[in-house]
Chains A and B, each alone.
Chain A
Amino acid sequence: MQWLLPVIVFAPAIAGVALLLFPQRPAKLIAAGATLAVFLLSLWLYFGLLNGSATTFGDVLHPQWAVDEPWINIALGTFHFRVDYALGADGLSMPMIVLNALLTFLAVVGSWHIDRRIKFYLALILILETGVMGVFAAFDLFLFILFWEVELIPMFLLIGIWGGARREYAAWKFLIYTLVGSSFTLAGIFLIYVQTGGQSATYQHYASVASQLTGSLPLFGGSVSLPLVLFLLLFAGFAVKIPMWPVHTWLPDAHTEAPTAVSVLLAGVLLKMGAYGLIRICLGFVPQGVQEIAPLLGIVAAINVLWGAGASMVQHDMKKMIAYASVSHMGYVLLGVAGAAASVGGASLLDFRQAALTGATLQMFTHGAITGMLFFCVGVLYDKAHTREIDIFGGIATRMPREITLYSIACFASLGLPALAGFVAEYLVFTGTYALLPAQTVFAVFGVVLTAGYLLWMLRRSFFGPLNLKWRGLTDATLREAFPLAALAVVILFVGIYPQPLVDLITPAMQQTLHTVVQALAVH
């Protein structure tokens, strides 16, 4: 099984490059085939493990299907530069890998109607998939940052070429925002690399030394706590991606201007890269840093939730509304992490930390599926009506029942209705964090009310009420258009009703992370 993970990571890019060499006609089929194959492979990993002898994806110290070859390894005097080609999967990354494979496949299916420069489009999407896969599969910090930036240019071009009216502004904003953020992250990686002896950059190494990482740095005569600086530097890039208030303003523009499938990938998996980095690297390798700032992080998370919800409330463009909705929902991830790291209670509240962190990870998955579905819904609507203005519609539920049915399911999942995936994650986060950061949690919980408010208000304005005669000719979603929606709906329902398989595989990884967190607490 060693070969499986590299194949999953690199196959898409190879297929993408190959695509450019093939003639136009079979491009879509090739792309769909490749992505489907990758998705099936990832499922094989997933369920092969479920049924196999192993009972868990293990944790950062015991990744599955790990590959680890020294790539760059040079020592000069006291200076040692070592980069490992280290891939692996554990309970944290595997769900993301599956999600990424699924969403990319659906994205390809969902862009079937695109004909303009289709080869280039699909190639970019495939390269994008490789980049994201790499981020989740990398087990070496330098490798991580390498993959982290691979995704930039494809996304930049995808928004730029196939985007909407303000695509130029959106694409550049996305590019610069992300780059400035990630340059700080790179600085953080330098710092942690040098501070931990500069012998190796593999996750295992950092995870093992995480709790000893203390002390302080000289700064302008004074001195600042090393873990805090590390956290702030590393987190800068992730905060932009998550996106955390106040560095979230790139997201509404990018999501709104990007073509449907790309918005799906942006919201579905690219935001998760930030959350993944936060959990894996910040929390996993510099727990003290997170602890020192956890309450503040919780407050920001609450702001994220309420701010995003508030902004969605007054949007006139469906896509922009959903974009702000994801700002709001990613706040729950932040909240979960903040709770898990909060220094109150010490080890006594371990179970609640566990719940909070597992919830955050689950939220990453569910939000990916739900928001992806929402964007697909808007996309189908947009392809037919060529507008996303909420108030322009009215009563069109009578014209496109299938589309609106699925749309409503997505909305209800997003507002955390039980038996749908969103509820599981949010409930888990809340039950976990309340014990650790009560005040912040209370505010965040209020977001649930607001979410119901703006989503249902949108439904009411666009779909219900008497039919706006302008849309009399509107036709319902075809089966092909509805396929991605239905597929995601199935996932959402399954996770919402029977989350155990997912959670059981996430939990061990979280346990290991929390182990270091609690150790750090002890050091404190």
Chain B
Amino acid sequence: MTPVDLVWLVPALPLAAMLIIFFGTRMVEIAVQPRPAAVPAPTDHGGHGGHGPADAATTPDTEAGHDATDQTAHTTHGAAAAGGGHGEHGGHTPFWPMLSSIIGVSALLLSFALSLLILWQFLDVNGDVFHTKNLIATGKDIHLYNWFTIGSLNYSIDFRVDTLTVVMLLVVTGVSTLVHLYSIGYMAGDPGYSRFYIELALFTVAMLILVLGANFLVLFIGWELVGLSSYLLVGFWFYHNPPPPGSEVPYPPPAQLKAFVTTRLGDFGFLIGILILFTATGTFNFIELNTKTQAMDKGLLTLAMILVFCGAVGKSAQFPLHVWLPDAMAGPTPVSALIHAATMVAAGVYLVARLFPIYEGVAGPQALAVVGYTGAFTALFAATIALTQNDIKGVLAYSTISQLGYMFAGLAVADTNTVGMYHLFTHAFFKALLFLGSGSVIHAIGAQDMRKMGGLARFMPWTAGTILVATLAISGIPPFSGFWSKDPIITTALEKGNYIIYGLTLFTAFLTAFYMFRLFILTFGGQGSFLGLWGGHDQYRGDAHPRESPRVMTFPLVVLALATILIGLAGFAGFNQGFAWFLNHGVNVDFPVAPALDANTFIGVGAGVLGILLAIAVYGYGLRLNVALASSAVTRPIYRLLYRRYFLDELYLWLIRVVVLGLSNLCALFDAYVIDGIVNGSARAVRGLGNITRRSETGILQNYGAAIFGGAMIILILVFVATGAIGR
């Protein structure tokens, strides 16, 4: 019984936690709540406070009463709800909800520990400790149970643990643990506190199922379930009032709907792809697919792989299905950090990495080409939008989309999934850090519009410092982790002679650095000495009283920052190669997966530096470039185009309104008028026939007699004619 055999515990622990909270502490919490005298009228705070928060999505409840208490609880923190995107602050969490969070966190800690053990077991190649030799090469299949077997078709619930899985396990459990921890502070006093932990746990379970799945069936189950938890968490504050018109802040109810349906659109392609593969090979299992697909028709296989990639496009918010991710920021910030930055959105990347042997080896080159160009284009596309956004989470959202684009590009250009996966690995940490940091800011000042910030560094040094680290990392500045994962993508693209992707990614690197530092300066700094980070006069443009967040929130920031730095430093010690070795089942890859000391690297880094300098120049030293661009007649439309996100949302809305609803109305009307018209018409026809025939019944005796004899005569003549007796 080695750790890897217990891998099912990794998802099982959060599941247990979820059930315990659902049926245990949450129930008690509801039970012990005082009954309110009357249901208070909902009140509105700061333009758009929520009211009557309740835990619709997961909470069974004995009486509607507790909502009222939630309401009162809410009103005390109402002002903090301003911005419509985040919950109450500084409220203290009662005992039972607190217990829920403790249960959640401890469960996650255990899973994380177990994952670490499994990593150790994998690294222990000679089986000195665990007596499992060379697990790294073979991996481990774990058969849980059968759904059913039909003839030779096998629908079974299997897990597979191999190096790729282990990496994902670590990322998911690690980041998830920190977010659980962080949320204790961030969600403090929120009426849906326990519900939050239930849904967070649900997400973790689903994500773990996704990465553990040994076949498309299990993977798809996890795939859809993370979609569900994303839906629930995005809509966590479903009861808030809509934000005022013109605000960049997304609104939960439509956002959650958008998130689910858009990804479903991708899943449509995904499912078709699965069906093609299944029909051709008769199996869902990834390992079997690697070999069985070789017999498949190349063109069909390529098509299938492209369709499968559609799923990734949806889940990882690539163009053109990226529109849901920015809106998904309507969820609480920890959720954005965990689901919509670090883990779930990376599922698409994981999917391609998981199927990389088929993509790279078996299927036609077109498949990977599609992946690569989509990724590269999306990277640039999202970056351009990020330049203009004012909502701090909005910028981060688009940067996420852009970085995911990098990952796909990386998968496409390299001969191994290492490059892309490594960027996923590093990105998970620094992007989570960025989001949690922004969350800490929002938590402090109750607003998320960067124009309402500035100079916060002096109030919240920890947050500022950690975010700076992340910003440098994402800008690809050595020695931070981002440099080690991002630069290889750019350089490999060049070495492969794929100049388009090279150009796109390179330019994107420049833009990334620019908008990230724009974000940093607008938030924490300003104009003046040291970018107004310290000293100088107060740069704060808002009206709240910012203060550093509690330890429970800053601690995860520090941990993540350390991770970013350490992974970066480890890079000098050939960590990249080690990662590659591990990911390739203990085989050393013969090509560079780390930036070498050559021109390309300098160009890559240079792009980043350039971006940073420009940002400093504009936002630190008042170079009025941005204002000029935004106002000049020539560039104004472009600025507007970017600011309005290329009007894609409007386009989709129009499509839905006109095409989908139009056709739907057509169906409904056809039913109502054509089909029912025929039905009712025929009924009316029968009655009409009756109405005509009944007129023959005149009531006059002699007509009846005439009918008798006339009828007899007609029949007689008919019979005679028929028998040929007459007229012959």
- Asked if chains A and B are in direct contact (CB within 8 A), the reply is yes
Q: Closest residue to B195 on the A side, CB-wise?
A: A401
In this assembly, does B494 line the interface, its C-beta being within 8 Å of a C-beta of chain A? no
Could you say which of B251-259, B556-564, B613-621 contacts chain A?
A: B251-259
Query: A271-317: which residues lie under 8 A (CB-CB) from chain B?
Result: 307, 310-315
Q: Is the CB of B153 within 8 A of A431?
A: yes
Residues of B within 8 A of A431 (CB): 153, 275, 278-279
Q: Which residues of A contact B148 (CB under 8 A)?
A: 358, 499-500, 503-504, 507
Instruction: Check B679–A173 contact: CB distance below 8 A.
Output: yes
Chain B residues 668-694 with CB under 8 Å of chain A are 668, 671, 675-676, 679, 683
Q: Is the CB of B67 within 8 A of A465?
A: no
Other A-B contacts than A310-B668, A351-B151, 12 sampled, CB-CB below 8 A, are A312-B664, A355-B153, A397-B57, A399-B52, A401-B61, A418-B220, A427-B220, A434-B272, A453-B261, A463-B56, A467-B51, A476-B64
* A446-B268, A448-B268 known; A467-B278 Cβ under 8 A: no
- In the assembled complex, A473 has its CB within 8 A of some CB on chain B: yes
A311 in contact with B664 given A405-B57, A449-B261 (CB within 8 Å):
yes
Contact of B54 among A350, A398, A427, A459 (CB under 8 A): A398
Neighbour of B42 across the interface among A311, A460, A467, A504, CB < 8 A? A467
Using a Cβ cutoff of 8 Å, how many contacts connect chains A and B?
A: 201
6 CB-based A-B contacts, threshold 8 Å: A314-B668, A434-B275, A434-B279, A442-B272, A456-B261, A503-B147
Give chain B residues whose Cβ lies under 8 Å from the Cβ of A476: 61, 63-64
With A315-B668, A399-B54, A434-B276 in contact, is A464–B39 under 8 Å at CB?
no
Contacts A351-B150, A456-B260 given; does A402 touch B61 at CB 8 Å: yes
Binary contact readout A406-441 vs B (1 if CB under 8 angstroms, 0 otherwise): 001000100001110001100110110011001001
A358 to B231, CA, bound (A): 31
A interface, over-half SS: helix
Interface flags for B37-75 (1: CB within 8 Å of A; 0: not) read 001011000000011111111111111100100100000
Nearest A residue (CB) for B282: A351
- B168 to chain A minimum Cβ distance, whole angstroms, is 19
B158 at the A/B interface (Cβ < 8 Å)?
A: no
Name the interface residues of B263-280: CB closer than 8 Å to any CB of A: 264-265, 267-268, 271-272, 275-276, 278-279
B221 interfacial by beta-carbon distance below 8 Å: yes
- The answer to whether A466 and B239 touch (CB under 8 A), given A315-B668, A399-B67, A431-B278, is yes
Q: Which of B59, B61, B256 has the most CB of A within 10 A?
A: B61
**Residue pair A350, B151 in contact (C-beta under 8 Å):** yes
Give Cα distance in the complex from A252 to B675, angstroms: 13
Query: Which among B153, B238, B671 is the interface contact of A464 at CB below 8 angstroms?
Result: B238
CB of B225 closer than 8 Å to a CB of A: yes
The answer on a CB contact under 8 Å between B53 and A398 is yes
A112 to chain B minimum Cβ distance, whole angstroms, is: 19
A393 contacts B by Cβ under 8 Å: no
B209 CB to nearest A CB, Å: 9
**Chain B nearest CB, measured from A35 CB (Å):** 26
State how many angstroms separate the Cβ of B457 from the closest Cβ of chain A. Answer: 36
**A313 CA / B64 CA spacing, docked (Å):** 30
Chain B: CB-nearest residue to A496: B221
Contacts of A397 in B (CB 8 A): 54, 56-57, 238-239
**In the complex, A249 has a CB within 8 A of chain B:** yes
Residues in B neighbouring A446, C-beta threshold 8 A: 268
**Closest CB-CB distance, B578 to chain A, in whole Å?**
36
- B residues 561-606 touching A (CB-CB < 8 Å): none
Cβ of B235 < 8 Å from any Cβ of A? yes
Nearest B-chain residue to A446, judged by Cβ:
B268
- Name A351-372 residues within 8 Å CB distance of B: 351-352, 354-355, 358
Q: Which residues of A contact B242 (CB under 8 A)?
A: 465-466
Bound: A503/B151 CA distance, A:
12
With A355-B150, A456-B257, A469-B42 as known contacts, state yes or no: A401 contacts B59, CB within 8 Å: yes
B403 proximal to A (CB < 8 A): no
- A313 proximity list for chain B (CB < 8 A): 660-661, 664
Residues B52 and A351 in contact, CB atoms below 8 Å apart: no
Contact B668 A449 (CB under 8 A): no
Looking at chain A, what size class is its interface with the partner chain?
35 or more
Complex CA–CA separation, A358 to B60 (angstroms): 34
* Residues of A with C-beta under 8 A to B70: 398
Q: Which residue of A lies closest to B251 (CB)?
A: A465
CA–CA, A469 to B43, complex, Å? 11
Q: Which residue of A lies closest to B666 (CB)?
A: A310
Contacts of A449 in B (CB 8 A): 261, 264-265, 267-268
Asked if A419 and B261 sit within 8 Å, CB to CB, the answer is no
Q: Which residues of chain B have C-beta atoms less than 8 A from A307's C-beta?
A: 667
Closest 3 CB pairs of A and B: A397-B56, A351-B151, A398-B52
Is A152 interfacial (CB-CB < 8 Å)? no
Q: Are B54 and A401 in contact (CB under 8 A)?
A: yes
Contact A424 B261 (CB under 8 A): no
Q: What is the CA–CA distance of A424 and B665 in the complex, to the nearest angstrom?
A: 30
**B240 CB within 8 Å of chain A:** yes
Binary interface encoding of chain A residues 491-504 relative to chain B, with 1 for a CB under 8 A from any of its CBs, else 0: 00000001110011
The yes or no answer to B146 lying at the interface (CB within 8 A) is yes
Q: Tell me the complex Cα distance, A69–B147, Å.
A: 39
Among the interface residues B70, B225, B242, B275, which one has the most CB atoms of the partner chain A within 10 A?
A: B275
Q: Name the interface size band of chain B.
A: 35 or more
Which residues of A in the span 234-277 have a Cβ within 8 Å of any Cβ on B? 246, 248-249, 252
In the complex, chain B residues whose CB is within 8 Å of the CB of A499: 147-148
CB atoms of A314 and B279 under 8 A apart: no
Most B Cβ at <10 Å: residue of A177, A412, A476: A476
Residues in B whose Cβ lies below 8 Å from that of A448: 264, 267-268, 271
Q: Which chain B positions have C-beta within 8 A of A401?
A: 54-56, 59-61, 64, 67
CA distance A449 to B661 in the complex (A): 14
B562: min CB distance to chain A, Å: 37
Contact B665 A351 (CB under 8 A): no
**Max chain B Cβ within 10 angstroms of own Cβ: one of A442, A465, A499:** A465
Give the chain A neighbours of B279 by CB distance below 8 A: 352, 431, 434-435, 438
Complex: A402 Cα to B253 Cα, angstroms = 19
Instruction: Judge whether A153 is part of the interface by a CB distance below 8 angstroms.
Output: no
Q: Does B95 contact A (CB under 8 A)?
A: no
Q: Which A residues touch B276, using CB under 8 A?
A: 434
Q: Say yes or no: is B663 at the interface (Cβ < 8 Å to chain A).
A: yes
Q: Chain A contacts of B661 at CB under 8 A?
A: 313-314
Closest-CB distance, A503 to chain B (whole angstroms)? 4
B232's nearest neighbour on chain A, judged by CB, is: A408
Interface centre among B39, B50, B60, B217 (most CB of A within 10 A): B60
Bound CA–CA A350/B153 (angstroms): 10
Do B275 and A464 have beta carbons less than 8 Å apart? Answer: no
A405 to B56, Cβ gap below 8 A? yes
Tell me how far the C-beta of A133 lies from the nearest C-beta in chain B, rounded to whole angstroms: 27
Is A195's beta carbon under 8 Å from chain B? no
Interface residue? B224 (CB, 8 A): yes
Docked complex Cα distance between A450 and B656 (Å): 11
Contact of B152 with A by CB under 8 A: yes
- A472 in the interface (beta carbon within 8 A): yes
**What CA separation (Å) do A432 and B253 show in the bound complex?**
36
User: Within 8 Å of chain A (Cβ to Cβ): is B389?
Assistant: no
B177 interface contact, C-beta 8 A? no
Q: How far is the CA of A408 from the CA of B663 in the complex (A)?
A: 26
Report Cα–Cα, A313/B659, bound state, in Å.
12
- For the complex, give the distance between the alpha carbons of A299 and B26 in Å: 49
- Check: B102 CB closer than 8 A to any chain A CB: no
Contact across chains for B665 and A314 when beta carbons are under 8 A apart: yes
Contact A246 B150, CB 8 Å, known A400-B64, A405-B60: no
Residue of B whose beta carbon sits closest to that of A303: B667
A7 within 8 A of B: no
CB neighbours (8 Å) of A412 from chain B are 228
CB of B400 within 8 A of chain A?
Answer: no
Q: How far is the CA of A445 from the CA of B55 in the complex (A)?
A: 32
Contact for A402 among B60, B238, B278, CB less than 8 A: B60
Alpha-carbon gap, A428 to B155, bound state (A)? 9
Q: How far does the alpha carbon of A457 sit from the alpha carbon of B665 in the complex, in Å? A: 16
